[in-house]
A and B are shown apart, each in its own frame.
Chain A
Amino acid sequence: MNLVDLGILAQLGLGLLAITLAVAVPAAHRNLAAGSAVVAVGGAAALSGTAALLGGSGTGLSVPIALPLIAGLEPLQLSPDPLGGLFMLLAGVVVALSALFGIGYAHGPAASRTGWAALAGFAVGLQLVPAAADVVTFLLAWEVMAVGSTVLLLADHATRRPVRQAALWYAAMTHLSFLLLLAGFGVLVATAGGTSWTTIAAGPTGPVAGLAFVLLVSGFATKAGLVPLHVWLPRAHPEAPSHVSAAMSAAMVKMGVYGLLLVTLRLLPAGPRWWALVLVALGAGSALYGILQASVQADLKRLLAYSTTENLGLITTAIGVGLLLRGSGQGGAGGVALLAALLLVVSHAAFKTVLFLGAGSVLHATGERDLDSLGGLASRMPWTATAFGIGAMGAAALPVTSGFVAEWVLLQALVHTRATTDRLLAVVMPITMGIVALTIGLGLLTFVKAFGIGFLARPRTAAAAAARESGAAMRVALVIAAALTVGLGLLPGPVAGALAGAVTATGIQTSATAGLALAAIGVVLDPLVLTLLTLAVAIPVLAVTVVLARRQPRREVALAWGCGVERSSPRMEYNATSYSEPLVRVFRGWLRTSRSVEIVRPDQAPQLIEELAFTQETVDVVEERGYRAATRALRRFGDLARRLHNGSIHRYLGFSFAALILVLVLVNR
């Protein structure tokens, strides 16, 4: 028994302890007691994940009988490989931070016995998914994760109607995902004749493998929130309590990515070229569509949810590019692309945790998550504003955050493709590059909007004007997550070195200043030196500013220039809706909005205007065209089917009789 096994056992034990504490401790101390236990659960997973990532493959924990009375199943196995270890580590850290934030944040139903017990169950399920080494264990952990998150999502169902709808969508999509996975793994198990990963990996080839690939990728894409299976994300993330949204967005959707990597690298390695193209197309489409939708949202958490679709799209693109390059004999650049995928995974986990927790902190302080009602929070909530700003820089891939390093690695892999003899690469790579670049550009706009409208300018409502900084537990969680975002960006060398083993990328080195050197394609990035260079350049500018500021100090005025502020009312400020208006015009075909203007006129004077209200809602085109049409077709089918059962007992007896005849005919053949 080594550290890996010990960590897994500790997770199970601490998970039980957390559930016991959630149920037994009275409400006054429940947050602290249960929250601390869940933090410990996350810590155990981080420990065992780190050990597994660094190569300590344990003997594994196994339960000899998988399901009683069913033959042909291999024992239940919990033993993560380095890739699984990475995802376990990531899930553990995110769970620990979310639970820490939850100690200060959880209130109402989220702080109830059910709330904390469900969080503990969800955490254990989530962390054991990447530890599973066979199909049955994997699906069991997957279901625990799904059920736990559904219960957590339902927290506010009694008071808010959208929560109930969101939970329905989520439950339906999650089970769609589960069914697809069940079918996909079913195909694999039937051909390979066993349930453990090692048996399956030696199994199917040809069209059967293709069928399994399509089924499994659809299932994992649903969990990862890729277009067109993303519809649950923008509903579920905003309605869940914020610390749960952080865990769902930063860790749970990543299990979809883990699944994709599991299928393409371990279970069905060396697949045909079209598999990689499918992943590139799926990923690039999701990235662009996700960020376009995010850029026009005014609801902060909905914006973050669509941005999750974007980031998961980028990750999938990187996986696809990596497989495509490996399949074309360019193992070096391919390894770099796969490393980029893992770096994107880690960096997204770090900055999305900050952003969702920051949104939670804002929600806690103002009761608002609509950007159009916020503003001016930077001076009232400096900790939250700084942390959110760092997270936004990570999401916008600005130096020197983790997001910058990750996207830099992806772009380097694209640029260093040798495509002179390969027409397919010569077309695919520039298009991918264009889409990734546009995604980065729009991401920048989205997060300038999220930070600028929410935290800068003047308060747009009384609630925003009265905001107070959050409590200590919440601030500590925010600061740790923000520090991770910057730290991963400043010292990418050691991180990338550890990740490279998980996808067997070669030629990944650490430079003298903890920078990243990709020997396979001959490039280096030293964020630390770049930072030092920037600071060195900043010194003269700051020195001049300080000298000048002594001579001419800044003057406090009532209005800077009075330009447009003369009769100032918060309603005259630019808000999130107006900020993205030019974009809505530019991308008319993809971004549809429904607008309505209501004018109330006084009875006596119809030419005057008493009240004017403008509302705008964005329409998800995929949902509108795909899902609504599908539900309409389904309903029509239901109407048709209804004619069969009209309530007449004679007709039902007739059906039974016909069925009996049919069975007899079939049996006697």
Chain B
Amino acid sequence: MIEPLLVIVVHLVFAVAITPVLIGVMRTTRARLEGRSGGGIGQPWRDLRKLLAKEPTRAPGSTPVLVAAPILLMVSSLVLCALIPLVSTLALASVPGDLFVVVSVLLLGTVALALLGLESGTAFGGMGSSRHMVIAALVEPTVLLSVYALSVPAGSAVLAAIVQSRREDLSSLANPVSLLAIVALVVVVVAETGRLPVDNPATHLELTMVHEAMILESGGRDLGWLELGSWLRLTALLGLVVNLALPWAVARDAGVTGLLVGVAGTTVKLLAAGALLAAVEVFLAKLRLFRVPELLAGSFLLAFLSVSASYLVF
């Protein structure tokens, strides 16, 4: 009972510590490739400190959702980090973090953001919220099917068990089922966390915004939580994908050496994956909103093929 709790604490501390660094690395990579010098790796951390120390505002007629939504997003992202096997695959026996629970916790954050977008009653907030929910709805089948495909050889839908079984049977890493599912999952991560080509996190043009439009009215502490919460989602989902694709160095238990190796391994994998993602983004333009469903339908097809293949191969 104590050991899984220790793992959860390690996951939370690790996620909160690594997230600003990850965002910093991604922004710096992008800036350097575009020929800018950028704000440096520590800039997201400084932004966060500044925002959290500033006062938030409230307009007349606002509802409690204004206060609750940023905190709900933050909490849902933290629970996500606690349940996903970032450093160790030792899971809490009564909440092992199976696929559907993890996805539902993720959706809780999605809903908090969408409600916040509607709360202010502005046109941009509603627009962002509407687009965000359409994308979330269309991503859902791909998420469930791609992890379903990976769960068939493992015989379990618990994420930790899947990572562990892939680690023990390394031959399963390079087969077509696994590759198709991982590619589909990458598209999911890109769509869920609002990266290019689905959404441009650095945009200043309101009409093309999705994520930014929803948080346009927030400021100060609220904005700080919203930013950190959204970044943590990226850490959690990217961490899940790298640990599924390259399950080396993930600890099996709560031993000190194992955890240290796990932390070091996941840090390297996460930062490398983040830098790669940022480097790819330099060469991509944002898709038109109504082309996004085609991308998601493509990823759904990959996931579906992967499930069918998993039944025929294994």
Interface-located stretch among B31-39, B58-66, B267-275: B58-66
In the complex, chain A residues whose CB is within 8 Å of the CB of B53? 548, 551-552
In the complex, chain B residues whose CB is within 8 Å of the CB of A548? 52-53, 221
Q: Closest residue to A530 on the B side, CB-wise? A: B95
Interface-located stretch among B144-152, B235-243, B257-265, B278-286: B144-152
Minimum CB–CB distance for A618 against chain B, Å: 16
Bound-state CA distance A396–B63 (Å) is: 21
A415 lies within 8 A of chain B by Cβ: yes
0/1 interface trace, chain A 417-439, chain B, CB 8 Å (1 if under)? 00110000011001101110110
Minimum CB–CB distance for A179 against chain B, Å: 38
List residues 386-421 of chain A with CB under 8 A from any CB of chain B.
Answer: 396-399, 404, 407-408, 411-412, 414-416, 419-420
Minimum CB–CB distance for B311 against chain A, Å: 4
A586 adjacent to B219 (CB under 8 Å) = no
Bound-state CA distance A525–B96 (Å) is: 8
B79 lies within 8 A of chain A by Cβ: yes
Minimum CB–CB distance for B132 against chain A, Å: 9
Bound-state CA distance A573–B93 (Å) is: 47
Interface residues on A, range: 35 or more
B104 adjacent to A404 (CB under 8 Å) = yes
Of B95, B156, B157, the most chain A CB neighbours within 10 A belong to B95
B26 lies within 8 A of chain A by Cβ: no
B118 adjacent to A457 (CB under 8 Å) = yes
Q: Count of B residues near A, CB < 8 Å?
A: 86
Bound-state CA distance A394–B67 (Å) is: 22
A398 adjacent to B111 (CB under 8 Å) = yes
0/1 interface trace, chain B 140-167, chain A, CB 8 Å (1 if under)? 1101110010010000111000000000
B104 adjacent to A556 (CB under 8 Å) = no
Bound-state CA distance A427–B307 (Å) is: 9
Interface-located stretch among A11-19, A105-113, A576-584: A576-584
A554 lies within 8 A of chain B by Cβ: yes
Q: Closest residue to A392 on the B side, CB-wise? A: B111
Of A431, A452, A511, A526, the most chain B CB neighbours within 10 A belong to A452
Minimum CB–CB distance for B233 against chain A, Å: 14
B124 lies within 8 A of chain A by Cβ: yes
In the complex, chain B residues whose CB is within 8 Å of the CB of A437? 140-141, 143-145
A541 adjacent to B78 (CB under 8 Å) = yes
Binding site for B on A (CB under 8 A): 375-376, 378-379, 385, 396-399, 404, 407-408, 411-412, 414-416, 419-420, 426-427, 430-431, 433-435, 437-438, 440-442, 444-445, 448-449, 451-453, 455-458, 511-513, 515, 522-526, 529-530, 533-534, 537-538, 541-542, 544-545, 548-549, 551-561, 563-565, 572-575, 578-583, 585-586
Known pairs A548-B221, A556-B57. 5 more at Cβ < 8 A? A434-B144, A438-B141, A452-B114, A552-B221, A586-B293
24 residue pairs of the A-B complex, CB under 8 angstroms, read A404-B104, A412-B157, A415-B148, A433-B144, A441-B136, A445-B137, A457-B119, A457-B120, A457-B126, A513-B94, A524-B94, A529-B94, A533-B8, A533-B82, A537-B12, A542-B71, A549-B221, A554-B67, A555-B56, A555-B58, A563-B124, A564-B123, A574-B127, A579-B129
Across the A-B interface, give the 10 residue pairs with the lowest CB-CB distance, nearest first: A574-B126, A441-B140, A441-B137, A452-B118, A457-B121, A526-B94, A426-B311, A552-B55, A437-B141, A458-B121
